[in-house]
Copies of this chain bind each other. A is one copy, B any other.
Amino acid sequence: MKIDPDSSSDLSAQIAKAIRDAIMSGKLMVDERLPSEAELAEQFNVSRPTVREALKRLGAQSLIRTQRGATGGAFVNRLTFEDAYGQQITTSTLLLSMNDVSFAVACEARYALERACAPLAAQRRTADHLATMRAEAHRQSQPGLTDEAFCASDVAFHRAFVDAAGNPVISYQLAGAVEAMQPLMNMITFSARSREKIVALHGQITDALETHDGQACDTILAELSSYTNELAQNVINARAQARSTN
């Protein structure tokens, strides 16, 4: 592992890159211990704080973990699906909020990807998935629920649906798409009437999974997608009108 002293400085970034490359290429294996900070400092010919900055960068990406004490040190971390979910959700959420991604575009992405799960979910759903989905749908029908709580439950429902496809890679990829929608959904004020319709569709989706009917599931998801878009469009129109009358 070497660093290029010519390169556009920022030694800690270069060191982080060198170690990251070693991990990604398999030169450093999972649970393998890195040299101590003092040793790394000597190897790279930099000071300990600089090495530490590099290690913190890698820690932020869950590539390593550190442990204090005699047998401690930095270890190559086995990236868990849970870790990856978290990063994916953070990144997706910020990506949408910082780039003025329209509700329509985000919604289209989410439902296009969710519909891809329909056939697999219909085939593989377990009783657990169905129970979770029914529980969330029931929660959503409770009166007095805040819009935010309604959205949170909506996310939980859809995540259960995605998980029903029984493919962890799909669950991981879609975690971002589903969760990142929540801030956008929170713009919407859900009337009792619209909640009723959404809960009904959620019920139908669960029924379709229960009877292993992927085709029906797909159709209902499409309906839910266009209804969600309609609600958002109403909000956008109302705001545009409010602006023009001001």
Instruction: For A53, give its contact among B56, B93, B110, B120 (CB under 8 Å).
Output: B56
From A94-102, A151-159, A187-195, give the one contacting chain B. A94-102
Which residues between 29 and 71 of chain A lie within 8 Å of chain B, taking CB atoms?
A: 30, 49, 52-54, 56-61, 63
Contact residues in B for A99 (Cβ distance below 8 Å): 78-81
A210 within 8 A of B: no
Closest to A12 in B: B56
What is the CA–CA distance of A242 and B116 in the complex, to the nearest angstrom? 37
Q: How far is the CB of A236 from chain B (nearest CB, A)?
A: 18
Instruction: For A94, give its contact among B23, B90, B170 (CB under 8 Å).
Output: B23
| A79/B105 in contact, CB under 8 A | no
Interface of A is mostly: helix
A237 within 8 A of B: no
Which residues between 4 and 45 of chain A lie within 8 Å of chain B, taking CB atoms?
A: 12, 16, 20, 23-24, 26, 30
| B173/A109 in contact, CB under 8 A | yes
Q: How far is the CB of A223 from chain B (nearest CB, A)?
A: 16
Q: How far is the CB of A80 from chain B (nearest CB, A)?
A: 8
Contact residues in B for A91 (Cβ distance below 8 Å): 61, 79, 84, 87-88
| A177/B173 in contact, CB under 8 A | yes
Contact residues in B for A16 (Cβ distance below 8 Å): 60
Given A109-B173, A113-B113, A173-B177, the answer on whether A101 and B57 have CB atoms closer than 8 Å is no
Residues of A within 8 A of B (CB): 12, 16, 20, 23-24, 26, 30, 49, 52-54, 56-61, 63, 78-81, 84, 87-88, 90-99, 101, 105-106, 108-110, 112-113, 115-117, 120, 165, 167-170, 172-174, 176-177
9 sampled A-B residue pairs with Cβ under 8 A: A23-B94, A58-B60, A79-B98, A81-B95, A87-B91, A88-B88, A101-B169, A113-B173, A173-B176
